[in-house]
Structure 1
Amino acid sequence: MYEIIVLLLLVVGIVLLTAKWNINPFLALIAAAFIAAFAYGVPMAEVTTAIGEGFGGTIGNIGLVILVGTMLGGILERSGAAISMADFLVRVLGPKFPNLTMSLVGWLVSIPVFCDSGYVILNSLRKAITLRTGVSSIGTAVALMTGLYATHTLVPPTPGPLAAAENVGISHNLGFLIAVGLPVSLVAAFAGLVYAQRFTHSTMELLPPTGEDDLDNKTYEELRESYGKLPSAGASFLPIIVPLILICIASIANLPSAPFGAGTVTDIIVFLGTPLVALFIGLAVAVCLLRGKGKLEQFNTEITSAIEIAGPIIFITGAGAAFGGILGASALTDILADSLSSLGLGLLVPFLISAALKTAQGSSTVALVTTSAILAPLLGSMGLDSEIGMVLTVLAIGAGSMVVSHANDSFFWVVSRLSRLPVGVAYRTLTVASGIEGVAAFITVWIIGAIVL
Structure 2
Amino acid sequence: MAIITVLLSIAAIVLLITKLKLHPFLALLLVSIVLGLASGMDADAVISSIQNGFGGTIGKIGLVIILGVMIGVFLEKTGGALVLAQKMLSLIGKQRVITAMGIIGYIISIPVFADSGFVLLSALNKRLTKKAGLSLAGTAVALGLGLTCTHALVPPTPGPVAAAGILNADLGIVMGLGMIAAGVALAAGLLFAHKMAVKIYVDPGESAGEPEGTAGRTPGLLVSSLPILIPIFLIIGKSLSDNPFLTFFGEPVIALLVGFALCLLLPKKLEKSMLSTDGWVNTALVDSATIILVTGAGGIFGAVLQNSGVAGTLGDALTSSNLGLLLPFLLAAALKSAQGSSTVALITTASVIAPLMESLGFVSELDKAIVVVAVGAGSMVVSHVNDSFFWVFTQMSNMDVKTGYRLQTMGTLIIGTTAMATVYVMYWLLH
Normalised by the length of structure 1, the TM-score is 0.92
Choose 56-65 or 343-352, whichever is displaced more: 56-65
**What 5-or-longer segments of structure 1 have no aligned partner?**
210-216, 255-259, 261-265
Answer whether contact 2:153 2:376 (CA < 8 A) is retained. Answer: yes
Q: Which amino acid letter does the alignment assign opposite residue 85 of structure 2?
A: A
Corresponding position of 2:255 = 278
Structure 1: distance between partners of 2:126 and 2:39: 54
Corresponding position of 1:257 = none
Aligned pairs for 1:157-306 (under 5 A) are 157-170=156-169, 173-199=170-196, 201-205=198-202, 219-220=208-209, 222-223=210-211, 226-254=214-242, 260=243, 266=244, 268-292=245-269, 295-300=271-276, 301-306=279-284
Structure 2: distance between partners of 1:355 and 1:428: 18
SS in 1 for 2:359: coil
Q: CA RMSD in A?
A: 1.6
Structure 2: distance between partners of 1:450 and 1:167: 24
Structure 2: distance between partners of 1:201 and 1:450: 35
Structure 2: distance between partners of 1:204 and 1:75: 35
Answer whether contact 1:402 1:434 (CA < 8 A) is retained. Answer: yes
Deviation at 1:43, TM superposition (A): 2.8
Q: Which amino acid letter does the alignment assign opposite residue 185 of structure 1?
A: A
Corresponding position of 2:371 = 393
Corresponding position of 1:214 = none
Aligned pairs for 1:125-136 (under 5 A) are 125-136=124-135
Answer whether contact 1:79 1:227 (CA < 8 A) is retained. Answer: no
Answer whether contact 2:343 2:379 (CA < 8 A) is retained. Answer: yes
Answer whether contact 1:136 1:199 (CA < 8 A) is retained. Answer: no
Normalised by the length of structure 2, the TM-score is 0.96
Q: Which amino acid letter does the alignment assign opposite residue 185 of structure 2?
A: A
Q: Count residues with an aligned counterpart.
A: 429
Deviations 1:330-372 (A, max 9, x none): 2222222221111111000000000000000000000000000
Answer whether contact 1:26 1:319 (CA < 8 A) is retained. Answer: yes
Corresponding position of 1:402 = 380
Answer whether contact 2:29 2:301 (CA < 8 A) is retained. Answer: yes
Q: Which amino acid letter does the alignment assign opposite residue 429 of structure 2?
A: I
Answer whether contact 1:135 1:200 (CA < 8 A) is retained. Answer: no
Corresponding position of 1:328 = 306
Task: Find out whether 1:150 has 2:149 as its counterpart.
Answer: yes
Q: Which amino acid letter does the alignment assign opposite residue 325 of structure 2?
A: L
Choose the corresponding residue for 2:342, options 364, 383, 389.
364
Deviation at 1:443, TM superposition (A): 0.6
Task: Find out whether 1:41 has 2:40 as its counterpart.
Answer: yes
Matched-pair identity in %: 41
Structure 1: distance between partners of 2:67 and 2:207: 31
Task: Find out whether 1:446 has 2:394 as its counterpart.
Answer: no
Structure 2: distance between partners of 1:201 and 1:167: 40
Corresponding position of 1:318 = 296
Corresponding position of 1:213 = none
SS in 1 for 2:199: coil
Deviation at 1:202, TM superposition (A): 3.0
Answer whether contact 1:83 1:224 (CA < 8 A) is retained. Answer: no
Structure 1: distance between partners of 2:410 and 2:49: 40
Q: Which amino acid letter does the alignment assign opposite residue 398 of structure 2?
A: R
Corresponding position of 2:5 = 6
Structure 2: distance between partners of 1:411 and 1:183: 23
Answer whether contact 2:223 2:265 (CA < 8 A) is retained. Answer: no
Deviations 1:57-91 (A, max 9, x none): 11122111111110100000011111110111111
